[in-house]
Chain A
Amino acid sequence: MKGFWKLAWVEIKIYLRQPEAAFFTLVFPMLLLFLFGSIYGNKPSPFFGGRGMVDVSTPAYLAMIIGSTGLMSIAITVSSHREKGVLRRYRATPLRPATVLASQVIVHFLMTLFGGILLIASARLVYGLRFEGRSLDVLLGFTLSTLSFFAVGFLLASVAKTARAANILGMVLYFPNLFLSGATIPKQTFPQAVKAVSKFIPLTHVVDLLQGLWIGDSLGKHLLEIGVLAGLLVVGVAVSAMAFRWE
C-alpha cells in the first residue's frame, strides 16, 4: 500500500477545498438540523413514538450524508479523475490500481464519518439528542450502509462515459433517495402511496436501519435492511470490477 496514506491525505485536502462537496457532506445536514430543530424542537411526542423530532431525524440525516458521498462525491470524483487523465497519470507510476481505489474509499468514508460526527455533536449540544442504542451496532450499520452506497457510486462512475454523465446520473438517483426515503422528511408524514414507493428506494433501508439501531434495536431485527444493503454492495462491486475503465 505504498503511497496510500499520502494519497488519501492529499485527496482529503482536495475534498475540503471543493466547497460544493464539503457543503453537502458537512454543512447541509446541519442546516436541516437547525431549520427543523428551530421549528419543532426536540420535545418527546407520541407522533415519534415518545421521542423528539431531533432524536428521530438525526439518524435519518446520517443516511442523507451517506447518500450524498456515495451517489454524488464518489461518482463525480472518480469519473472526473478519469476524464481529466488523473488516473492515467497515476497508472504511469508504480502505484497499484487497488491503492488508488482504496484511497478514494477511505477518503470518502472519513468525510462521511466526519460529517456524521459534526451532526451528532451539534444535535447533542443544541437539542439534547437522546441515544438509546449500542454505539458499536450503529457504527457497524453506518459502515455497511456507507460501503454499499460507495459501491453504487463506483458503479455509476464505471457506467458513465463522462464526468458530466456521472454527475447527472448521481443527481437523478440522489434526489428521489433523499426525499422518498425519510432521510429528510420523516416517513411518518408520508401518505400511503408514497410509503409504498419508499420501500423500493435503497436509501430507505439505510434510514430504517440507522433509526432502528439508534433506539436500541438489535442487528438481528433488521436483517431485511442488512440483506438489501449487502446485496447492493455485492452488485456494485461486481459491476464496477467488470465495467471500470482507467481512461
Chain B
Amino acid sequence: MPPTTPAIEVKSLAKSYGRLKAVDGVSFSVGAGEIFGMVGPNGAGKTTTIECLEGMRFPDAGELRVLGLDPRKDGHELRERIGVQLQQSSLPDDMKVWEALDLFASYYRKPAAWKPLLERLEISDKKNARFSKLSGGQKQRLFIALALVNDPELVFLDELTTGLDPHARRSMWDLVRAIRERGKTVFLTTHYMEEAEHLCDRVLVIDHGRIVALDSPANLVRGLKSEIQILFTAETGFDPAPLRSLPGVTRAEKNGEKVIVAGQGDRLIVVVVNALDAAGVHFRDLRTEQPDLDDVFLALTAETGLDGGSR
C-alpha cells in the first residue's frame, strides 16, 4: 500500500444498542505505520468502534474504509489482511499452544511461520501447554501470536494489557513497538493513560460515543495549559515572596522546609532556579511535577469522570 493511503478512514460512524448511542458520529483516520490509540472510560464506545472496523459488528451509519476495504461488504477479504486481538475471547481449555497456532495459520492464504512467532513472543517453552494452564500474560502473548499469524498489514489490539501486572504490561509495550518496526499499523484501545502516552503516535479520546480530543500525547498535554509545579526543600528562614514576581509564576508557598512554586511556560524552571541561585538560596531535592495524559483525560472527561463515566 502506498504510504499516502490511510490504513483506516472513518466518517460519521454511529452505532446504537436500543436507546444507548454507543458511538455517535465519530470521524478519524489512521496513517499506515502509525500506532494509534483510542482511550476513554469504560462504555465510552472503544470496543464498538474497533469491532465495527474489524467487521465483527455492523454500524448503523457512517463510512468505513479499512485497508481500502469496506468491513461491511468485504469482511472476509479484510480478515485475511488484519490481525485481531479481542477483548473477550478464548480458546478451548484443552487446546495446546502449538495446536492453536498451527490451526489459525491454516485459516489464512499466506500464513507466517508460527515457530519464530512463538520465540519472538517468548512462549516457546509453553508450546505443549494447554490453554487453561497458561497465566494471564501467557494467554495474551498467545493471542498476540494468533493476531500476527497471517502476517497482517494492520493489527487491532483491544485492551491488550488489562489485568496484567506492571512487568507484563511493559513487555507488551515492547512487543507492540516491535510490531510497528516491522512496518505494520497498530490500532489499540486502552484505559491506561500511561500506556497511550508511552506507545501511541496519536491518541483519540472518546467519551459517550463522541471524540473529545485527537492529537499526539505531547500536544494533548501541552493543550491542557495546566500548571507545572516545582517542589524543593529550603532552610527554615527562606522567604518565598520574591518568587511570586518572577515571569510565569502564579503561586509560591512555603510549608515548614518544603516549598512549592507553581506556574506556566517552558522557561519556568530556568527562571526559578536562576533566581534561587542568584539569591544564594541553598535548596535541595528539587523536582518538578508536570501534567501528563492522566490529567488531560480527567480534564476532558471531567463532567462525567466521577459518576456516570463508567457505566
Residues of A within 8 A of B (CB): 2-3, 6-7, 10-11, 13-14, 17-18, 81, 84-86, 88-89, 91-96
B91 at interface, CB cutoff 8 A:
yes
* Structural contact, A94 and B80, CB atoms closer than 8 A: yes
8 intermolecular pairs with C-beta atoms under 8 Å apart: A3-B107, A6-B106, A10-B95, A11-B92, A17-B94, A84-B92, A94-B79, A94-B107
A residues near B88, Cβ cutoff 8 Å: 85, 88
Known: A10-B99, A14-B95, A17-B94. A93 touches B79 (CB 8 A): yes
Judged by a CB distance under 8 angstroms, whether B173 is at the interface is: no
CB distance from A26 to the nearest CB of B (A): 16
A13–B99 CA distance with the chains assembled, in angstroms: 10
- Contact yes or no, B89 A89, CB < 8 A: yes
- For A81, list chain B residues within 8 Å (CB): 92
B95-A88 in contact (CB<8A) = no
A88-B89 in contact (CB<8A): yes
Q: Does B135 contact A (CB under 8 A)?
A: no
For A94, what are the chain B residues with a Cβ–Cβ distance below 8 Å? 76, 79-80, 107-109
* Other-chain residue from B91, B92, B102, B104 in contact with A93 (beta carbon distance below 8 A): B104
Query: Contact: B104 with A14, CB < 8 Å?
Result: no
Asked whether any CB of chain A lies closer than 8 Å to the CB of B246, the reply is: no
Contact-residue bracket for chain B: 20 to 34
Cβ of B136 to closest chain A Cβ, rounded Å:
15
Asked whether, in the complex, the Cβ of B103 is within 8 Å of the Cβ of A86, the reply is no
The residue on B at minimum CB distance from A7 is B103
Q: Is the CB of A3 within 8 A of B89?
A: no
Q: Which residue of B lies closest to A85 (CB)?
A: B89
Interchain CB contact under 8 A, B107 and A14 = no
With contact pairs A86-B92, A92-B56 given, residues A6 and B102 touching in the complex (Cβ less than 8 Å): yes
CB distance A86 to B76 under 8 Å? no
Alpha-carbon separation in the docked complex, A91 to B89 (Å): 10
Contact B94 A6 (CB under 8 A): no
Task: Name the contact of B90 in the complex, choosing from A11, A14, A84, A95 (C-beta under 8 A).
Answer: A84
Given contacts A17-B94, A85-B89, A86-B91, contact A93 B99 (CB under 8 A): no
Return the chain B residue nearest A96 by Cβ. B76
**Cβ of B54 under 8 Å from chain A:** yes
Give 3 nearest A-B pairs by CB, closest first: A85-B89, A84-B90, A89-B89
Distance (whole angstroms) from the CB of A202 to the closest CB of chain B: 29
Which B residues touch A85, using CB under 8 A?
86, 88-90
List CB contacts (< 8 Å) of B96-120 with chain A.
99, 102-104, 106-109
What residues of A have a CB within 8 angstroms of the CB of B94 in the complex? 14, 17-18
> Beyond A85-B90, A92-B56, A92-B86, is A3–B76 a contact (Cβ under 8 Å)?
no
- Say which residue of B54, B84, B95, B106 sits within 8 Å of A2 (CB atoms): B106
Closest Cβ of chain B: how far from A47's Cβ, in Å?
45
**Once the chains are docked, how many angstroms separate the CA of A18 from the CA of B146?**
24
In the bound complex, residues from chain A placing their C-beta under 8 Å from that of B107 are 2-3, 93-95
Type the 1/0 row for B71-95, where 1 means its CB is closer than 8 Å to any CB of A.
0000010011000101011111011
Question: When the two chains form their complex, are residues B86 and A88 in contact, meaning their CB atoms are under 8 A apart?
Answer: yes
- Residue numbers in B under 8 Å from A14 (CB-CB): 92, 94-95
Q: State the CA gap A81–B89 with chains docked (Å).
A: 10
| B76 and A89 contacting across the interface, CB-CB below 8 Å | no
Q: Which of chain B's residues has its CB closest to A88's CB?
A: B89
Most central of A13, A93, A95 by chain B CB within 10 Å: A93
Q: How far, in Å, is B169 (CB) from chain A's closest CB?
A: 22
B residues within 8 A CB of A3?
103, 106-107
Task: Please measure, in the bound complex, the distance between the C-alpha atom of A230 and the C-alpha atom of B80, giving whole angstroms.
Answer: 38
For the complex, what is the distance from the CA of A6 to the CA of B95, rounded to whole Å?
A: 13
Additional A-B contacts beyond A6-B103, A94-B107 (12; CB < 8 A): A2-B106, A3-B106, A10-B95, A11-B92, A14-B95, A18-B94, A84-B92, A86-B91, A92-B79, A93-B79, A93-B84, A96-B76
